[in-house]
């Protein structure tokens, strides 16, 4: 082990620490490089907003900042940005969790068994290219405005009613559809790409199908499944606006955007868009951190 302590990589590391100053400069340089285009964009927006001078077409940046920096304040009578974000997040996480709970086991079965693949994949592929929004009429016809409150039989007076009544089954179904296929596809791919030599090695130790799936296929596919879960969370979050446009919707960022549009508050529309983007970025970053923590063996080479 001693010998490996003096690998070229270690030398480079030592060099870096000697020029720490340089690294700080480098970080500043990179940050500036990334900031140029957004700055130009904001500058352009600002100048156009002054030029157009009509907040119904292009509100000034300060209007949006005003709304965003006061997230607890009630905007246009439909609750605060914070509350709408919170409701959207619960909806997405719920629809997404159900999608993950269905798609991961299904993907494992399809990836493992050729018979299951033949039976299920052509059928599922039929639905693959139908965008979740196209399901809206059907989903509405089936679930109407049934909510978690209706299903659980929670009385209108109960404190949890407000949240549960906002969890419409139809919305959850649309979000489910948005997350389902990315998770399914990645799971199937992860299971199918297991190196045969690992399977043979563990089979030669006397492992049966169950042990093979739990000790080889699933651990091997975990990083790929995780990528699917990451992508699925992104697409679920994207279907949000569509889902919250459904009739009966009375809260959420998607609802906020459509409602603000109807009352001609473009600044609120843009604030809603920015909120969606910020939450999406946070979700992505968080999942990235978790992924890096869980799959060290993968990121450090095979």
Partner 1 sequence: MDIADAVNAIEVSSVSKTFFGEKGMVVKALDAICLDIRPHEFVCILGSSGCGKSTLLNLMAGLISADGGMIKVLGNTIKKPIREAQMVFQEYSLLPWRTVLDNVSLSLELGGVSKKERHHRARQLLNSFGLDEFCNSYPHELSGGMRQRAAIARALSTGPDVLYMDEPFGALDAHTRLKMQQELLNYWLGEKKTVVFVTHSVEEAVFLGTRIIVLGGRPGTIRKDIAIELNYPRNRWHSEFGDYCSSLLQAMESP
Q: What is the total count of residues that contact partner 1 (CB under 8 A)?
A: 24
Q: For partner 1, which is the closer residue by CB, 91 or 220?
A: 220
Output b/e per residue, 237-263; b: 16+ Cβ within 10 A: bbbbbbbbbbeebebbbbbbbbbbeee
* Interaction between residue 222 and partner 1 (CB under 8 A): yes
At closest approach, how far in Å is the CB of 216 from partner 1? 7
Q: Near partner 1 by CB under 8 A, which window of 26-34, 40-48, 150-158, 202-210? A: 202-210
At closest approach, how far in Å is the CB of 297 from partner 1? 5
Contacts (CB under 8 A) with partner 1, residues 48-77: none
Burial (0-12, 13-18, 19+ Cβ within 10 Å), 117: middle
Cα-based distances in Å from 260 to 166, 168, 207, 238, 250: 19, 21, 60, 19, 12
- The C-alpha atoms of residue 84 and residue 54 are separated, in whole angstroms, by 27
**Contacting residue, 198, 273, 274, 280, with partner 1 by CB under 8 A:** 198
| Tokens linked to 137 | 């009429």
* Interaction between residue 298 and partner 1 (CB under 8 A): yes
- The C-alpha atoms of residue 300 and residue 290 are separated, in whole angstroms, by 15
Q: Near partner 1 by CB under 8 A, which window of 138-146, 173-181, 199-207, 240-248? A: 199-207
At closest approach, how far in Å is the CB of 302 from partner 1? 5
| Tokens linked to 192 | 């199918």
* Interaction between residue 215 and partner 1 (CB under 8 A): yes
Axis crossing angle, helix 81-112 with helix 218-244, rounded to the nearest 10: 140
* Interaction between residue 290 and partner 1 (CB under 8 A): no
Burial (0-12, 13-18, 19+ Cβ within 10 Å), 164: middle
- The C-alpha atoms of residue 239 and residue 170 are separated, in whole angstroms, by 12
Q: Near partner 1 by CB under 8 A, which window of 43-51, 78-86, 198-206, 232-240? A: 198-206
Segments of the chain assigned E as strands: none
* Interaction between residue 265 and partner 1 (CB under 8 A): no
* Interaction between residue 207 and partner 1 (CB under 8 A): yes
**Contacting residue, 14, 205, 262, 293, with partner 1 by CB under 8 A:** 205
Residues making contact with partner 1 (CB under 8 A): 1, 195, 197-198, 200-207, 211, 215-216, 219-220, 222, 295, 297-298, 300-302
């Amino acid at each position: 082990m001693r010998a490996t302590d003096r690998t070229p990589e270690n030398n480079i590391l030592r060099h870096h620490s000697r020029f720490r100053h340089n690294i700080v400069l480098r970080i500043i340089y990179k940050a500036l490089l990334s900031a140029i285009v957004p700055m130009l964009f904001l500058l352009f927006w600002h100048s156009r907003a002054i030029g157009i001078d009509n907040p119904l077409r292009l509100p000034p940046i300060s209007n949006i900042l005003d709304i965003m920096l006061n997230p607890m304040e009630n905007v246009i009578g439909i609750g605060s940005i914070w509350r709408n974000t919170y409701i959207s997040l619960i909806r997405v996480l719920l629809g997404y969790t159900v999608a993950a709970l269905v798609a991961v086991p299904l993907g494992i079965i399809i990836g493992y068994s050729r018979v299951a693949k033949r039976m299920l994949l052509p059928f599922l592929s039929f639905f693959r290219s139908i965008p979740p929004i196209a399901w809206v009429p059907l989903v509405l016809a089936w679930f109407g405005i049934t909510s978690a409150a209706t299903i659980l039989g929670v009385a209108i007076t109960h404190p949890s009613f407000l949240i549960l009544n906002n969890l419409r089954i139809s919305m959850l179904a649309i979000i489910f559809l948005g997350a389902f296929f990315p998770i399914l596809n990645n799971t199937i791919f992860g299971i199918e790409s297991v190196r045969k030599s690992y399977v043979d090695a563990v089979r030669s130790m006397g492992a049966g199908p169950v042990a093979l799936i739990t000790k080889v296929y699933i651990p091997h596919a975990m990083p790929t499944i995780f990528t699917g879960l990451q992508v699925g969370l992104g697409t679920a979050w994207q279907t949000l606006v569509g889902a919250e446009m459904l009739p009966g919707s009375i809260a959420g960022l998607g609802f906020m955007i459509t409602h603000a549009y109807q009352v001609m508050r473009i600044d609120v529309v843009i604030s809603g868009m920015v909120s969606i983007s910020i939450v999406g970025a946070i979700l992505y970053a968080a999942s990235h951190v978790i992924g890096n923590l869980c799959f060290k063996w993968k990121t450090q080479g095979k």
